Chain A
Amino acid sequence: MKKKNRLPALAMAGPVSVWMILFVTIPMFFIIFISFMSRGIFGDVVYDPSMESYLTLLDSTYFNVISKSLKVAAFTTLACLGLGYPFAYYIAKRPKDQAAKYITLIMIPFWTNTLMRLNSWLLLFQTSGPVNNFLQNSGITDAPVRFVYTDELVALGMVTSMLPFAVLPMYSSIEKLNKSLLEASADLGADAKTTFQKITLPLTFPGIFSAIILVFIPSLGVYTVPDMLGGGKVLYIGNIIKNQFGMIRNWPLGAALSCLLIAITGLLIFLYTRFTSIEEMEVV
């Protein structure tokens, strides 16, 4: 029997495999490895195994940042689900060609630079910006309200920049929903509320879970939103990681925080794969 020709497979799948191993697999293993090493006096990495970095994370300073980041990410996720689900439902109930237009209408603003869009919230809410001018001119407040560099403005920035990532997966799962099931439920005497609870919500759950993953995980690691809208005064996990590889130079600590994010991501993905396969996730 003729030996199977391996060359086409190698030529086609080879480059992507090599790239992924070189720039994803190796770096990911290396960052996990570094997290178990120690920091030298000059900010270098000493290859001496220790759990020090992980213990440092339990210090109140870092622990507070971690719990605050988790809270903000959870708030962002809930807000995006709450705002996004009715909106996704609204679009999914349009005729198909109209729905496609509505989806494009969501995408267009995202061709504008993300940071410039975030900066707009700063322009609107700054001390002598339009919102404060309106509040004072209309007599609602006497003095300018301080919105900038607050957690609330950071939260606004997070929700507005993450919302499309919640809408799109929920839209596609609502759109796939079999209409005859809803009709059957109504025929059997269920009211709208019961139908929603017993049919719509469970069947669109994969979309909701995709939305949770696509919003919660990026929000947990983001540092651009707190940098832009928090003026660097509001610190989240992402900022702390970035600083450890910049000025402060504590690689093992930054690596340990990265591993925490990897662990949380892994846990969510594990839960997700209990319901559906990872290929089903609407990532694009």
Chain B
Amino acid sequence: MAMSQRAKKKKSLKLLADFYAILIYAIFYIPVVVMMVFSFNDQRNNYYWAGFTTKWYGELFNNHALTDSLWYSVVIAVLATLISVTIGTIGALGLKKFEFKGRRFVNQMLYIPIIVPEIVLAVAILVVFMTVGVRLGMGSILIGHCTFCIPYAVVTIKGRISGDDNSMEEASMDLGANRLQTFFRVTLPSIMPGVMSAAFLSFTLSIDDVVMSNMLAGAKQSTLPVLILSMSRSGVTPDANALTTLMILIIVIAMVLNNYVKSALKKRRKKEVNL
């Protein structure tokens, strides 16, 4: 009798826990759903719900401020990802495999952009650029983005490098490969998962960034998040909701395709091995 009561209590506790988890997930997903729903709202400033329409999905392409800023955001994010992952990959290897003066210092510096509030780093870079006379624009935003993407890339990739074990590289060089061949054929494939997640992280950090972009943007070009921030005073228009909804759709489709290709490749490899 006592046992069943205990089991009952355990069961209701489990139900309570499940309910709590669903509640937290709701907090995460409600804003996304609301954002999507209001992309179908027939009201210019999204002040109230005025009926269903799909017109914003067509009209967003006539809003050149919106499409231009999206273009700048994508270009900057792609470039920032390429630069950060390149510097980050060789940097992570260099910092892990070689002992040199100042290594500790560089390692500590890498944590500054990760930990210090972004606004501080942004104004610090701005002040140096203004004093030296660097013109603000796409270039300065790109430098700013790389400055916080590189540390994340280094930290992500460093976690994938197996400590002081150089046996694979040494075997490759003993067999007559030079350093460059060894890097591309042995080292890089072994850390590829880390490199890919660093690339993904850099891209998402860059395309979503407001603070750095807002400080380092010139008068002419701004990124999508900077535009959205400036729109917020008079109400973000539904075409921005439509654009964001399309962006999520593209990401989700890309993820599904990526998984599909991955599992298809795995199956094929298994078949080849069996043959």
Which positions in A face B, CB cutoff 8 Å? 6, 8-9, 11-17, 19-21, 23-28, 30-31, 34, 83, 86-87, 90-91, 105-106, 109-124, 126-130, 160, 163-164, 213, 217-218, 220-224, 227-228, 231-232, 238, 241-242, 245, 251, 254-255, 258, 261-262, 265, 269, 278, 283-284
Given A120-B32, A128-B47, verify A213-B115 contact (CB < 8 Å): yes
Tell me which residues across on chain B come within 8 A of A222, comparing CB atoms.
117, 119
Q: Are B232 and A228 in contact (CB under 8 A)?
A: yes
Given A13-B94, A255-B123, verify A227-B116 contact (CB < 8 Å): no
From A15, A20, A221, contact of B120 by CB (8 A): A221
Q: Are A16 and B150 in contact (CB under 8 A)?
A: yes
B90 interface hit (Cβ, 8 Å): yes
From B112, B131, B155, B228, contact of A24 by CB (8 A): B112
Q: Are B30 and A19 in contact (CB under 8 A)?
A: no
B3 interface hit (Cβ, 8 Å): no
Q: How far is the CB of B269 from chain A (nearest CB, A)?
A: 21
Q: Are A265 and B115 in contact (CB under 8 A)?
A: yes
B residues 111-152 with Cβ under 8 Å of A?
Answer: 111-121, 123-128, 131, 143-144, 146-147, 150-152
Q: Are B91 and A115 in contact (CB under 8 A)?
A: no
Q: Tell me the interface secondary structure of chain A in the complex.
A: helix
Q: How far is the CB of B168 from chain A (nearest CB, A)?
A: 16
B87 interface hit (Cβ, 8 Å): yes
From A15, A87, A121, contact of B24 by CB (8 A): A87
Tell me which residues across on chain A come within 8 A of B98, comparing CB atoms.
8-9, 12-13
Q: Nearest residue in A to B87 (C-beta to C-beta)?
A: A15
Q: Nearest residue in B to A8 (C-beta to C-beta)?
A: B179
Q: How far is the CB of B157 from chain A (nearest CB, A)?
A: 10
B257 interface hit (Cβ, 8 Å): no
Known: A91-B21, A283-B155. 18 other contacts (CB 8 A): A16-B91, A16-B154, A20-B109, A21-B109, A24-B109, A27-B127, A30-B128, A105-B25, A109-B32, A115-B228, A115-B232, A163-B28, A218-B117, A222-B119, A232-B233, A262-B116, A269-B115, A284-B152
Interface residues on B, range: 35 or more
Tell me which residues across on chain B come within 8 A of A90, comparing CB atoms.
17, 20-21
From A126, A258, A278, contact of B123 by CB (8 A): A258
Tell me which residues across on chain B come within 8 A of A254, comparing CB atoms.
123
Tell me which residues across on chain B come within 8 A of A242, comparing CB atoms.
119, 123, 214-215
Q: Are B100 and A27 in contact (CB under 8 A)?
A: no
B91-102 near A? 1/0 per residue, CB < 8 Å: 101110110101
B residues 67-107 with Cβ under 8 Å of A?
Answer: 87-88, 90-91, 93-95, 97-98, 100, 102-103, 106
B199 interface hit (Cβ, 8 Å): no
Q: Are B31 and A261 in contact (CB under 8 A)?
A: no
Closest 7 CB pairs of A and B: A221-B117, A12-B94, A16-B91, A13-B94, A27-B124, A9-B98, A120-B31
B224 interface hit (Cβ, 8 Å): yes
Q: Are B116 and A261 in contact (CB under 8 A)?
A: yes
Q: How far is the CB of A251 from chain B (nearest CB, A)?
A: 6
Q: Nearest residue in B to A238 (C-beta to C-beta)?
A: B119
Q: How far is the CB of B220 from chain A (nearest CB, A)?
A: 17
B222 interface hit (Cβ, 8 Å): no
